[in-house]
Amino acid sequence: MTDTTPTGATPEPRRRAPHFVSQEPWDPYVADKLTAEQERYYMAGQWKLMWWRFRRHKPAVVSLAFLLLMYFSTLISEFIAPYDLHTRHTRYIFAAPQSVHLFHEGSFLGPFVYGLKMERDPATLQRVYSPDKTKPQQLRFFCLGESYEFWGLIEGSFHFVCPPKDGTFFLLGTDRLGRDMFSRIVYAARISLTIGIIGIALSFALALILGGLAGYYGGWIDSVVQRITEIIKSFPHLPLWLALSAALPVTWSPLLVYFGITIILALLDWPGLGRAVRSKLLSLREEDYAAAAQMMGAKPARIIGRHLLPGFMSHLIASATLSIPSMILAETALSFLGLGLRPPITSWGVLLNEATDINVVAVNWWLMLPVVPVILVILAYQFMGDGMRDAADPYA
């Protein structure tokens, strides 16, 4: 040291600090008393704590409500859609969306639409639809309209909204065969929303089994599973999907193709979740309470079931939620490319398949509308997954 002279020290003798004693009353047991709020918190279990945490995440709660609404709608698609999935209106090919009005010439009429007048553009020969402002056609609600088979089982014709008598109601326009886009989007939600859930259930099962084996047994099993994971993860996904779905026999019924596609998606999706399972299991296995159970004489099944599984279930559900969007997107992408689901099974991706021709889309922009529910659902899943992930470990 070149410099050892204390620069800050005072040479004078230290002042003796005054002896201060607090005179406030002192109760050693004050820490033991609980408020009602604390009492409520202390009696709460894991799921309740998680729900309280989740509730604080406002976008997540809104997203959850939105998704519940969407899924509920798939249960009653027939009731919501004014037309059937396949009803064709040959007089209204590529009809533009009809907007809903409330006032006609200054007077209140309730929800109604104007009838459509079709003209041919003499130069391009394109159909041009314009509202016929003279004839307001009133919409009917909770009405009897087109008949359908509810879930293919029960005959019915009760709808939330029906087109006016002798009129049409194309809220989002029609496609090249004159089918109502709105009805088709409503029906397609059934497929698009469930393919994510079913796919994730499959990949969840795969992840639990393979990740669980790797995490619990370790050793060479772990090595093999890890390497498979890496190989799958390093494959470019799109070509692989294409190859696998092209391998599905053309002779399969559309329903079989639907399940084939979910299985393909699940097979390619599990590695991420599998890793989450493995790492969580590895870390939880080291927890003292797992060791305590072992030293009490608990068998592996009990240790896994009672101590390890509850510990990472919430995390898994959160990460599964976050991977549903990628499933939906994957299906949409495949179907868009014409390699996924095939008509008559209709998903949002299949609908978008109609929008592959830029010339058609440029004129008939409403063919792109199925993108809107896709975006909304994906966003909702992301927000909800975020909230769930934050809430997943209430003891952190």
Partner 1 sequence: MKDLLRVEDLTVEFGVHEGVLRAVDKVSFSIPPGGTVALVGESGSGKSVCSQAIMGLLPRTATISSGSILFQDPRVDEGVVDIARIDRSGPAMRRIRGGQISIIFQEPMTSLSALHTVGDQIGEAVELHGARPGGPLGGQAGRKLSRAEIDALTVDMLRMVGFPDPKRALRTYPFELSGGLRQRAMIAMALVCRPALLIADEPTTALDVTIQAQILRLMKDLQSELGMALLMITHDLGVVANVADDVVVMYRGKVVESGDLHDIFRDPQHPYLKALLHAVPRFDMKPGERLQPIREIKGTTGHLLKEKPVSAPTETFNPDAPVLKVRHVTKTFRIRKADTLMEQLMGGGTTRAIRAVNDVSFDVMRGECLGLVGESGCGKTTLSKMLMRGISADAGQGGRVVFDDWGRKIDVMSLEGADLNRFRTKLQFIFQDPFGSLNPRMTVYDILVEPLVIHGIGDDAYRREMVAELMEMVGLDRRHLSRYPHSFSGGQRQRIGIARALALRPDMVICDEPVSALDVSIQAQILNLLKDLQKQLGLTYLFISHNLAVVDYIADRIAVMCAGRLVELAPAGELFRNPMHPYTKALLSAVPMPDPDARLDLGALMEGKASDPSVWPEPFRDDGKTPLFWTEAEPGHYVRVSRPNGREVV
Among 223, 253, 283, 356, binds partner 1 (CB under 8 A): 223
Give the Cα separation of 298 and 323 in Å (integer): 34
Per-position DSSP letters for 322-337, written without gaps between them: HHHHHHHHHHHHHHHT
Smallest separation (angstroms) from partner 1 to the CB of 63: 22
- Which range in 64-72, 146-154, 222-230, 232-240 contacts partner 1 by CB under 8 A? 222-230
Structure tokens at 314: 């919430």
Structure tokens at 35: 């408020």
Residue 281, classed as helix, strand or coil, is helix
Q: Could you say whether residue 153 binds partner 1 (CB under 8 A)?
A: no
Q: What is the footprint of partner 1 within residues 12-71 (CB under 8 A)? A: 14-22, 24, 26, 28-32, 37-38, 41-46
Instruction: Taking each helix axis as running N to C, give the angle between helix 46-55 and helix 309-336, from 0 to 180 degrees, rounded to the nearest 10.
Output: 50
Residue 127 forms beta bridges with which residues?
120
Q: How far is CA 195 from its chain centroid?
A: 10
Question: Closer to partner 1 at the Cβ: 42 or 108?
Answer: 42
Q: What is the footprint of partner 1 within residues 283-312 (CB under 8 A)? A: 287-289, 291-298, 302, 306-307, 310-311
Among 55, 91, 227, 233, binds partner 1 (CB under 8 A): 227
Structure tokens at 321: 């939620």
Report angle CA 8, 10, 13 to the nearest 5 degrees: 155
Give the Cα separation of 356 and 352 in Å (integer): 7
Smallest separation (angstroms) from partner 1 to the CB of 190: 36
Question: Closer to partner 1 at the Cβ: 146 or 390?
Answer: 390
Question: Closer to partner 1 at the Cβ: 5 or 359?
Answer: 5
Could you tell me how many residues of this chain bind partner 1 (CB under 8 A)?
Answer: 54
* Contacts with partner 1, residue ranges (CB under 8 A): 1-4, 6-10, 14-22, 24, 26, 28-32, 37-38, 41-46, 220, 223-224, 227, 287-289, 291-298, 302, 306-307, 310-311, 395
